[in-house]
């Protein structure tokens, strides 16, 4: 049955009067399950007005009060893990165990933000000069907006709004129009936790809503996560309109396997990192760089594991890998497998065969003998396609990683600590795993890539999130001794 999915503004569901709409699908069947309103200028303006009106009181709420609400939210998200995961699975397609993992990684960010009284502490220097003390404080920015991708519809919003709200900002979320429902459930939990109305708003929509947020004079900052071309455009437009912007983009993450690595665990890691969530993760491994001497052995181990991956609907507890997000995306992913063969690569396992009759499934695919000029290597595919590039040496592997357009994540598999340390120093990548294939930082570090994986200087969540959502002040003070001085306003006086 098709549901209408609306906005959440000023603490309540807020249907648009003249909204354009779009379909929402169950990717495992292709069935339309909902109709999402695609917000226009009026909807964004209403959300920003509600957030602006709520800001003065929320900014003034005590740190203890804000922390208390975040602690309550923490309890509510924890109690509703299964429901949030269910909502993710029906509209995204990922398997329930993976959706539960997404909730857990999102929750970490709420837990981090519960420490806001500690995180917002400034510094104090007594007696910087005789009788002069200096202190620093950080204050919220105002209304901040989050624009989020389809692949983590609960976690990525939590990366943003937990810190943004804890710092005293009010928030407007523009989730992906492909899986909008979970954003409304999170809005309800925030309200239940005691967040005053207007502090958190959701505008459903597409580029029309995004454009309005980027131009709205009352939006102080934008956090964006999505594909590189959109991230680049959001950064350029947002900053040219005077906003603070962090825009995280796409990825092409390489896993370098040195000859001394434990090949069984490297193969296990590559398979789970390449095909988990059907490859629709910005930290998925999409390229294995295999040093020639072990390449055959590694490819044989990968190929042996792939047929055991159970593909099926995300809500079937036996499924390990679900469908892709849309029919269009499935066709695009398949075109890369076709193109790789045409370019001379070896399609060792072709995920386009024996597919279910309904839904947007593509099976795990393995493409060997890939060369850097091929589209299967160059482009972010965002599907279950793992490319193997055979290399002569560590140096060749590092050169490929550093020449790549993207710099989100990378991993090295080796038993040699010195080589791993050197790798972490050498690569132009923001997040590095040593025998860890998906090195997403825990919430008390920050997340961010280099090069075309991040536009702007601030990484997201963790300590850098607190910095991003606040601005600093430094106060220099002198208190004249009431016994010995009169008030000096700094003007020359004639006595
Ligand atoms: P997307 O860029 O298509 O969409 C992201 C958001 O931007 C959505 O809210 C969408 O409605 C909006 N949008 C889309 N086109 C727009 C346009 N032309 N103008 C303005 N707004 C627009 O990305 P997606 O397909 O939802 O997500 C997948 C992408 O996100 C992949 O490239 C993936 O690597 C990336 N991603 C990156 C990270 C990271 O942390 N670096 C995390 C998750 C996903």
209 and 262 within one domain: no
Give distance in angstroms: CA of 239 to centre of ligand 1. Answer: 18
Report the catalytic residues: 282
Model-wide pTM > 0.75: yes
- Please give the tally of structural domains in the chain: 2
314 and 219 within one domain: no
Mention every residue, 6+ apart, whose C-beta is less than 8 A from residue 79: none
Which ligand 1 atom is at minimum distance from the Cα of 148? 9
Q: Residue 158 domain-assigned?
A: yes
Q: Domain containing 406 — which CATH number? A: 3.40.309.10
Phi-psi region for residue 392, left (φ > 0), alpha (ψ -120 to 50) or beta?
alpha
Q: Domain containing 40 — which CATH number? A: 3.40.605.10
312 and 165 within one domain: no
3-state DSSP of 64-83: HHHHHHHHHHHHHHHHCHHH
In contact, 110 and 187? CB cutoff 8 Å: no
Give distance in angstroms: CA of 268 to centre of ligand 1. Answer: 29
Q: Ligand 1: which residues within 6 Å by Cβ?
A: 147-152, 174, 176-177, 206-207, 210, 225-227, 230, 248-251, 282, 380, 382, 408, 449, 453
- What is the Cα–Cα distance from 175 to 209, expressed in whole angstroms? 10
What is the extent of the structural domain holding 90? 3-249+453-475
In contact, 411 and 434? CB cutoff 8 Å: yes
Q: Residue 439 domain-assigned?
A: no
Residue-wise pLDDT tens for the chain (495 aa)?
569 999 999 999 999 977 799 999 999 999 999 999 999 999 999 999 999 999 999 999 999 999 999 999 999 999 999 999 999 999 999 999 999 999 999 999 999 999 999 999 999 999 999 999 999 999 999 999 999 999 999 999 999 999 999 999 999 999 999 999 999 999 999 999 999 999 999 999 999 999 999 999 999 999 999 999 999 999 999 999 999 999 999 999 999 999 999 999 999 999 999 999 999 999 999 999 999 999 999 999 999 999 999 999 999 999 999 999 999 999 999 999 999 999 999 999 999 999 999 999 999 999 999 999 999 999 999 999 999 999 999 999 999 999 999 999 999 999 999 999 999 999 999 999 999 999 999 999 999 999 999 999 999 999 999 999 999 999 999 998 777 666 666 777 666
186 and 265 within one domain: no
Q: Residue 148 domain-assigned?
A: yes
Give distance in angstroms: CA of 178 to centre of ligand 1. Answer: 11
Buried b (16+ CB within 10 A) or exposed e, 119-140: bbeeeeeeeeeeeeeeeeebeb
Q: Residue 481 domain-assigned?
A: no
- What is the Cα–Cα distance from 444 to 462, expressed in whole angstroms? 5
464 and 381 within one domain: no
460 and 427 within one domain: no
161 and 230 within one domain: yes
């Amino acid at each position: 049955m098709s549901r209408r999915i609306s906005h959440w503004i000023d603490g309540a569901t807020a249907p648009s009067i003249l909204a354009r709409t779009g379909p929402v699908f169950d990717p495992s069947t292709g069935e339309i399950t909902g109709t999402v309103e695609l917000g226009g200028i009026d909807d964004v303006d209403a959300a920003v007005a509600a957030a602006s009106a709520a800001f003065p009181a929320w900014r003034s709420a005590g740190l203890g009060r804000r922390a208390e609400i975040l602690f309550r939210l923490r309890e509510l998200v924890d109690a509703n893990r299964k429901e949030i995961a269910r909502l993710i699975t029906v509209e995204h397609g990922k398997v329930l165990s993976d959706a539960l993992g997404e909730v857990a990684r999102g929750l970490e960010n709420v837990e981090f933000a519960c420490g806001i009284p500690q995180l917002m502490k400034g510094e104090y220097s007594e007696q910087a000069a005789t009788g002069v003390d200096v202190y620093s404080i950080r204050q919220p920015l105002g209304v901040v907006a989050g624009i989020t991708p389809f692949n983590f519809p609960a976690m990525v919003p939590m990366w943003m709004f937990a810190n943004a709200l804890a710092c005293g900002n009010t928030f407007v979320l523009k989730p992906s129009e492909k899986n909008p429902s979970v954003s409304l459930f999170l809005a309800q939990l925030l309200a239940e936790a005691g967040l005053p109305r207007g502090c958190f708003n959701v505008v459903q929509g597409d580029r029309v809503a995004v454009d309005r947020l980027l131009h709205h004079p009352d939006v102080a900052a934008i956090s964006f996560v999505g594909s590189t071309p959109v991230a680049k455009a959001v950064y350029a437009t947002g900053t040219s309109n005077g906003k603070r912007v962090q825009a995280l983009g796409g990825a092409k993450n390489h896993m370098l396997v040195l000859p001394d690595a434990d090949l069984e665990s490297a193969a296990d890691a590559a398979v789970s990192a390449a095909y988990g969530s059907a490859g629709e993760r910005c930290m998925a491994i999409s390229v294995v760089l295999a040093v020639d001497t072990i390449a055959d052995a590694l490819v044989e181990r990968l190929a042996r594991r792939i047929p055991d991956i159970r593909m099926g609907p995300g809500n079937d507890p036996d499924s390990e890998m679900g469908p892709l997000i849309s029919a269009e995306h499935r066709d695009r992913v398949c075109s890369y497998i076709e193109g790789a063969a045409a370019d001379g690569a070896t399609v060792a396992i072709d995920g386009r065969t024996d597919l279910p009759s309904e839904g947007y499934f593509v099976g795990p695919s393995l493409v060997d003998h890939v060369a850097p000029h091929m589209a299967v290597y160059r482009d972010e595919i965002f599907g279950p396609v793992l490319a193997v590039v055979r290399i002569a040496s560590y140096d060749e592997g590092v050169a490929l990683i550093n020449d790549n357009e993207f710099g989100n994540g990378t991993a090295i598999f080796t038993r040699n600590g010195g080589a791993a340390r050197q790798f972490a120093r050498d690569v132009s990548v923001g997040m590095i795993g040593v025998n860890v294939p998906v090195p997403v930082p825990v919430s008390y570090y920050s997340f961010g890539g280099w090069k075309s994986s991040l536009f702007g200087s601030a990484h997201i969540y963790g300590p850098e999130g607190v910095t991003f959502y606040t601005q600093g002040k430094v106060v220099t003070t002198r208190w004249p001794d009431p016994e010995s001085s009169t008030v000096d306003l700094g003007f020359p006086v004639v006595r």
